[in-house]
Structure 1
Amino acid sequence: MKTILSLAFAQDQYNFDEEVDFFGEVYRVIQYSTNFDVELTESLIKKYDGQCDVICISGIPQKIKFKKGFFLHPLSSRLKTAARYTPIVDGQIVKDVYVPYALRLFHLKNPMFFNRKSIGFYSGGLQISFVEPLSELCNKLVMADPFFLLKLPFNLHSPQTLEKFLKTLSPVLKAMKVQKNFIPDFDNKSMFKSRALNEFLSCDILVGNEANINFLNLSHLKGRTLIIDIVSPQLEKKLKEAGLKEALVCLPQLSDPKMNYAILEGIIQIKKGEGLSVKQDDVIKMVEEVKFSPEIKSFNLDTDEVIKFSFVIHPLSSSYLFKHPYLKFMRKYSKPLEKLTEEALTLSPGFYYGKIQGVVSEKNGRKVEGLIYTITETPKKMMQADASVIYNKILKLCEKASTAGSKIMGLGAYTKIVGDAGVTIDRLSPIPVTTGNSLSAASTLWAAKLAVEKLDFVKKVDGHFKGTVMVVGATGSIGAVSAKILALTWDKIIIVAPRAYKLMELKDDILKINPKANVEISTDADNFSDVCDLIITTTSGQGKTVLDIMKVKPGCVICDVSRPFDIKEEDAIRRPDVLVIASGEVTLPGEVHMNIDLGLEGNIVYACLAETALLAMEGKYESFTLSRNINYEKVIEIDRLSREHGVRLSQIMGHSGFITDAEFDLCKEHAERKLKKSK
C-alpha cells in the first residue's frame, strides 16, 4: 500500500492516519496540521523523507504567474525543497486545471448564479486560479489584497491591476512572514473598517481558500454565499457557527477523511512513478475519469425567511377577462363586450394581480410566497402580436418582481410559447426565468398513469404498460419529452405532429434513449386513434380540432395538456366511454391561501407555477426549463423534487372540475358495454 504524508500548514488539530479508498485503490494517508509552524513542518518533511511515497503540503502560498515571470514566496520554496528522496507536491497543478473547469461547469448548469453579481476576493493573489474564470462570469470584481496582505485601505478590480500590484510589491511580500496573527479581521467592527472594506463586505458572493480564511473572524459571513476550494470538517463547523448560508465547494467530498488538492496531486504523482513530475495533461485525465463536479452546500437555512417567487399569467379566453376584480361586476352581461374588451386591453401594460401565501416545503421547512403578475392578451391576441411587444411587457414585470424581492420568475400558458419560448426573456431578465414545462410534463404523466390504472383496461407487467400510447403535438416541448419518457414504459408509442421531418428526428432521439422502443410516426391522429389506450394532446392549436373523438377506442384516456383545450367539452360529452382529463394540475404543500382566481378549484395551481415554487423551495434559482427542447432528465429531476418537497397531483380534473370515482366507474361501464358490442 502506498503511503502519503499530508502536511496541513494552515490548519490546526485536524490530524489522522487513515486508509483512503480513492476509486478502487487504497492509500494510507497520514496528516499533521502544523498551524503555520515552519520549523515543525520542515522537521516532519525530513522525518518522513524516504519513508513515504509522496509528501503533500497544503496551505502554503502558491506560485503566482505573470506574463513575464512569476512570484513564489521564499517559505514555499524552502518547504518544497526540504526533502532529498520523496517528491513534494502542493496541489497547485490540480488547482490550476480543475478550478476554472469546475467554475465553468457550474456556470453552465446554473447560469444565473453569477448573473449581475459582484464577487469579493479576500485575496486574488492567494486565489489566483479563481480570478480569471470568475472575471469572465461576474459583473464586478473586488479584490481585497491590499487590505488582506498589507492592511492598506483600497481594493483591486481587475486581473491586470492585481498583477501590477503583486509585481510592484513582490520584494515586500517576499519579506513577509506567513503567520496567522498577521491576518486582518473582516468583520463589521474592524478598526480598519473603511470605504474599501465596506465595498468588499457588500459583495454578493465572497471567495476564499480554506487556508486563508480558516483563522479569520467569520462573523461577517452570516447569511452570505461563499465560493471556496474545499471545506474540512474543522472549517465546516466554523462556517456553520458563523451563520454562513451556503458555499459553492469546488472540490466535493470524495472520501472520509476529506481529500484536498495536494493529496490529489500526490495520488497522481504516485501513479506517474518515480522521477516523473505531474503535468497538466495528467490532471485533465484524472478529472475526466473521476468526473469531479462542484457542489452547493447549505449551512444555515432561515426557516423564518419567506422566499418570494413570481409568475406571469394571462386570460385564456376573452371571457377570462371578466374574472378580474375590477370587471367581475360585469360578468353577467359580458358576452357582447368580450371582443371589444379583448381588443382594448391589449393596450394595457402588465400589472400585479395577487399573491399566493402559506407554501411550506416538507423537505426543509422553507416558506415560500408567490407574487402573481398578469398581462392582458388572450392566446389569440398574443399569437397575433409582435413577439417583441410581449417580451417588453413581461420584462417590465420581471423588473417589478426583482424589485419586490423575487428570486425567480415563471411563465404561464402562452407567455412561454411566444417567440423563442423564454430564452430571450431569460437573457434580459434581472432574475432567472423558467417556463415550468418540466413539471407540466411530469404532472401530465402522473395524471395519465393514474387515470389508466383506475380504468384498468391496460395490463401492467413490472411497471410496463402492455398497450399503445399516442402523443399528439409530439414535436412541441411537452409533447417531445412526454414521448421520450412514455417510450420507456409502454409497448408501443405513436407520435403525431404536422411536420414529418421533425417526427423523424424525434423518433431517432427516442431510440437513442430506448433502442427497443416501438415507435410509429403519423401526421394524422385519426389514423391510429382507434387502437390507442392513452392519448396525450399537447398542441398550440388554440381550440382547433386535433382529432375526431368519435374514432377513439372505447376505454381510452385522453389527457389534454393544451390551453385552450384541444378536446372541447361538448365533444367529450359525446363519448361517455372515453375519459377526457385535463393535464395534471397540482397542490402545493402547506396551508396555502390565494387572493386571486387562477381558473382552478380550491388551492390547485398550474404545474408550471408549481415548478417555479418548487425551485424556490429548493433554493435552486436558475433557468431550469427554457426553449422548446425539454431535457427528459430535467423532468425526472423535477419529479424527484416534487416528491421531496410535497408537491402532489391534485384530484384528476376534467373540463368542469374534479372527476369523481363514480364518473370513473360510469366511464368504465360504458366502455365495457361498447367493447362487448364490437366483438
Structure 2
Amino acid sequence: MKRAVSISIGSSKRNKTVEISLLGETVRIERIGTDGDLEKAAQLYRELDGQVDAFGMGGTDLGFLVDNRWYPLHSMRQITRFVRHTPVVDGNGLKATLEPRALRALQQVTEALPRKTALVTTAVDRWGLARAAEESGLRCTFGDLIYSLGIPLPIRSTRGVRILAAALLPLVSRLPFHWVYPVGESQEKRRPTHTRFFDRADVILGDCHYIYRYMPENMQGKVIITNTTTPEDVAAFRESGVRYLITTTPVLEGRSFGTNMMEAAILAATGRKTPVDYARPGDYFTWLNNLLDQLPFNPKVQELQP
C-alpha cells in the first residue's frame, strides 16, 4: 500500500484518513492538522520523511503561481527544511490543471444564474480557476485586496490581478502567513466582511476557509465552487441558502480533500520521486493533465436546496 500524508497548519478538527484506489494502486491518504503550529508541522515532516511516498502541504502554500510566474512564500520554507527524501506538493499542480475543469460542471446549473456574476475570493492562489471563470463568460470580481489585505477595492480582471501580483507579492510573500490567511482554530470562526461583494455575485469561487469565514448569513440561491469541504461546511452552506455546491476534488467518505492531498496521492500512486519545482515545472503540468484524463477526478455537483 502506498501512503500520502498532508501535513496542514490548519485545524486538527478536520483530520481524516481514507484508503482509495488510484491507477491500480491502493493509497492511504491522511490529513494531519497542527492547529497553526509551524514547528510541529516541521517536526512531522522530519519524522515521516522517507517513510511515506508523498507529502502534501496543507493550510498554506509553497508559493503562488500567477500566469506562469512563481512567487515563493518565504515564511513557509521553514516548515519543510528537514525534508530530504519524500516529494512535497502544495496543490498548485492540481489548481492549474484540475480546478479549471470545474467550470464545465458549472454549465449544468447556469440556467439558475440570473446575472452570471462571480466573486473569486482570491485569485493569486487559484489562478487557473480564476482565469477559467473569466474565460467562461462570468463577470468576475476578484477579492484579493479585499479578503487577504483588508482593502475594500475590487479587481475586475485577471489582467489587474496579474499586475497587482507583480507589484505586491514580492513584499506580501515575506509577511507572516497568518497575517493574510486564517490558520488553526481561526479557520472555524465566522467574520462576515464586505458582504456586498457576495450579495452581488451568483457564483462564489475560491478557498473554502475564505468563503466560510467572510460570507454573509444569507447566501440564497448562490453557487459555490470550492474544495476541502467537510460535512459541517456543507451543512453551513445549506443553512445559509446556497443552492449548488461544486467541489473541484472528489468527495471521499463525506469529505472533499484539498488539492495538496490529492496531488500527493497521485505522486504516491505513480511512484514519482522527482522533487516538484513549481518555479521550473518542466513537463510536470502536462504529465498531470494526461493522468487526470485517466482518473475519476470529476467535479461533484451537490444540490443543497432540492
Question: TM-score per shorter chain, which class?
Answer: 0.7 to 0.9
Identify which of 291, 299, 302 aligns with 1:297: 302
Q: Are the counterparts in 2 of residues 107 and 113 from structure 1 also a CA contact under 8 Å?
A: no
- Name the amino acid aligned to 1:286: L
1:11 is displaced (CA, Å) by 3.6
After TM superposition, list the pairs within 5 Å mapping 1:19-98 onto structure 2: 19-22=19-22, 24-61=24-61, 63-66=63-66, 69-98=69-98
Paired position in structure 2 for 1:5: 5
Q: Distance in 1 between matches of 2:252 and 2:100?
A: 19
Paired position in structure 2 for 1:160: 159
Identify which of 234, 255, 264 aligns with 1:236: 234
1:133 is displaced (CA, Å) by 0.7
1:75 is displaced (CA, Å) by 3.2
- Name the amino acid aligned to 1:142: T
Q: Distance in 2 between matches of 1:110 and 1:53?
A: 38
- Name the amino acid aligned to 2:121: Y
- Name the amino acid aligned to 1:134: A
SS of the residue 1:160 aligns to: helix
SS of the residue 2:173 aligns to: helix
- Residues 61 and 275 of structure 1: CA distance in aligned 2, closer, same or farther (over 3 Å): closer
- Name the amino acid aligned to 1:8: S
1:108 is displaced (CA, Å) by 5.6
- Name the amino acid aligned to 2:27: Y
- Residues 11 and 217 of structure 1: CA distance in aligned 2, closer, same or farther (over 3 Å): farther
- Residues 231 and 158 of structure 1: CA distance in aligned 2, closer, same or farther (over 3 Å): same
1:148 is displaced (CA, Å) by 0.9
Q: Are the counterparts in 1 of residues 6 and 31 from structure 2 also a CA contact under 8 Å?
A: yes
1:297 is displaced (CA, Å) by 1.1
- Residues 252 and 17 of structure 1: CA distance in aligned 2, closer, same or farther (over 3 Å): closer
Paired position in structure 2 for 1:145: 144
Q: Are the counterparts in 1 of residues 227 and 256 from structure 2 also a CA contact under 8 Å?
A: no
- Residues 275 and 252 of structure 1: CA distance in aligned 2, closer, same or farther (over 3 Å): closer
1:283 is displaced (CA, Å) by 1.7
Alpha-carbon RMSD across the aligned residues, in angstroms, is: 3.1
Q: Deviations over 1:253-294 (max 9, x none)?
A: 145665432232223222443542561233223221124322
Paired position in structure 2 for 1:453: none
After TM superposition, list the pairs within 5 Å mapping 1:89-128 onto structure 2: 89-103=89-103, 105-106=104-105, 112=111, 116-128=115-127
Q: Distance in 1 between matches of 2:21 and 2:77?
A: 31
- Residues 67 and 207 of structure 1: CA distance in aligned 2, closer, same or farther (over 3 Å): closer
Q: Distance in 2 between matches of 1:242 and 1:82?
A: 43
Question: Is there any run of 5+ residues in structure 1 with no aligned partner, and where?
Answer: 302-363, 365-679
1:120 is displaced (CA, Å) by 0.7
Q: Distance in 1 between matches of 2:152 and 2:254?
A: 41
Q: Are the counterparts in 2 of residues 115 and 139 from structure 1 also a CA contact under 8 Å?
A: no
Paired position in structure 1 for 2:280: none
Q: Which has the higher contact order (CA 8 A, sep 6+)?
A: 2
- Name the amino acid aligned to 1:273: G
Q: Distance in 2 between matches of 1:75 and 1:242?
A: 35
> Is 1:201 equivalent to 2:206 in the alignment?
no
1:175 is displaced (CA, Å) by 3.3
SS of the residue 2:31 aligns to: strand
Identify which of 283, 290, 303 aligns with 1:285: 290
After TM superposition, list the pairs within 5 Å mapping 1:204-603 onto structure 2: 204-216=202-214, 219-254=217-252, 258-273=256-271, 275-277=273-275, 279-299=284-304, 301=305
1:131 is displaced (CA, Å) by 0.9
Q: Are the counterparts in 1 of residues 57 and 90 from structure 2 also a CA contact under 8 Å?
A: yes
SS of the residue 1:142 aligns to: strand
1:228 is displaced (CA, Å) by 1.1
Q: Are the counterparts in 2 of residues 102 and 250 from structure 1 also a CA contact under 8 Å?
A: yes
1:107 is displaced (CA, Å) by 5.2
Q: Are the counterparts in 1 of residues 63 and 73 from structure 2 also a CA contact under 8 Å?
A: yes
Q: Distance in 2 between matches of 1:169 and 1:66?
A: 12
- Name the amino acid aligned to 1:47: E
1:177 is displaced (CA, Å) by 2.2
- Residues 63 and 115 of structure 1: CA distance in aligned 2, closer, same or farther (over 3 Å): farther
1:128 is displaced (CA, Å) by 1.8
SS of the residue 1:151 aligns to: coil
Q: Distance in 1 between matches of 2:197 and 2:208?
A: 22
Q: Deviations over 1:170-227 (max 9, x none)?
A: 244123322227889763xx5xx5xxx5244311211121243354465253543211
- Name the amino acid aligned to 2:250: P
- Residues 8 and 169 of structure 1: CA distance in aligned 2, closer, same or farther (over 3 Å): same
- Residues 198 and 15 of structure 1: CA distance in aligned 2, closer, same or farther (over 3 Å): closer
Q: Distance in 1 between matches of 2:267 and 2:110?
A: 35
Q: Distance in 1 between matches of 2:199 and 2:211?
A: 14
Based on CA coordinates, which of the two structures has the bigger radius of gyration? Answer: 1
- Residues 211 and 286 of structure 1: CA distance in aligned 2, closer, same or farther (over 3 Å): farther
- Residues 274 and 152 of structure 1: CA distance in aligned 2, closer, same or farther (over 3 Å): closer
1:86 is displaced (CA, Å) by 1.6
Q: Are the counterparts in 1 of residues 62 and 77 from structure 2 also a CA contact under 8 Å?
A: no
Question: Is there any run of 5+ residues in structure 2 with no aligned partner, and where?
Answer: 277-283
1:156 is displaced (CA, Å) by 0.4
Q: Distance in 1 between matches of 2:58 and 2:26?
A: 21
Q: Deviations over 1:63-86 (max 9, x none)?
A: 333568431212344334541222
SS of the residue 1:46 aligns to: helix
Paired position in structure 2 for 1:131: 130
Q: Are the counterparts in 1 of residues 2 and 269 from structure 2 also a CA contact under 8 Å?
A: no
Question: Between the two proteins, what is the percent identity of the paired residues?
Answer: 18
SS of the residue 1:119 aligns to: strand
SS of the residue 2:225 aligns to: strand
Q: Distance in 2 between matches of 1:15 and 1:66?
A: 29
Q: Distance in 1 between matches of 2:263 and 2:197?
A: 36
Q: Distance in 2 between matches of 1:77 and 1:239?
A: 34
Q: Distance in 1 between matches of 2:212 and 2:45?
A: 23
- Name the amino acid aligned to 1:28: R
Q: Distance in 2 between matches of 1:48 and 1:178?
A: 24
- TM-score after normalising by structure 1: 0.39
- Residues 219 and 71 of structure 1: CA distance in aligned 2, closer, same or farther (over 3 Å): same
Q: Distance in 2 between matches of 1:90 and 1:136?
A: 25
Paired position in structure 1 for 2:174: 175
Q: Distance in 1 between matches of 2:202 and 2:102?
A: 20
Q: Distance in 2 between matches of 1:251 and 1:241?
A: 22
